[in-house]
Structure 1
């Protein structure tokens, strides 16, 4: 079961020559206001969607977070070039 959290993320990624982003590592502000660093172990799916006129890349990813394998969704909004941890 996923929980929608929509937290802004600071991302390290690389882009293909076609301009498609690939997430590598990101950080978010945790519940105790400290930074939480997460390495993207695997990108399971990558889709592009258009919502409210904005193109959005959606990545379903998997990482080991505090010793637990978790699946989560990252989103990259092309209009403003911002990343967010959408749900986990």
Structure 2
């Protein structure tokens, strides 16, 4: 996987107990083409602290452009931002 670390738009499901589940996200590539990716499977979720910021790391898998790819999404709690970290 390649580190991208790009801020993205995400549709997510937040449960009453505080659990988060990303549903799909939209990313823009170098040619300014927009791609919408549905999160097919969440493999693992980890809570981490980076420079004092609490983040949730989602290791996911989806079919992107006809092939199964793994990627990592990060949710930054303090700023409510989603980051496509690796793909």
Cα offsets for 1:6-37 (capped at 9, x unmatched)? 11110000012122210000001112112110
**Cα distance in 2, alignment partners of residues 41 and 11 from structure 1:** 14
Deviation at 1:59, TM superposition (A): 0.2
Superposition deviation, residue 52 in structure 1: 0.9
Runs of 4 or more off by more than 3 Å in structure 1?
Answer: none
Question: 1:67 maps to which residue?
Answer: 66
Which consecutive residues of structure 2, in runs of 5 or more, have no partner in the other structure? Answer: none
Question: What is aligned with 1:44?
Answer: 43
Alignment of 1:54 with 2:41, yes or no, is no
Aligned length: 87
SS at match of 1:33: coil
Q: What's the TM-score once normalised by structure 1's chain length?
A: 0.95
| SS of equivalent to 1:14 | strand
CA RMSD of aligned residues (A): 0.7
SS where residue 28 of structure 1 aligns? strand
Aligned residue in 1 for 2:23: 24
- Name the CA distance, whole Å, in 1 between partners of 2:41 and 2:29: 22
Partner of 1:4: 3
| Structure 2 Cα separation of the partners of residues 20 and 52 of structure 1 | 23
Q: 5+ residue gaps in structure 1?
A: none
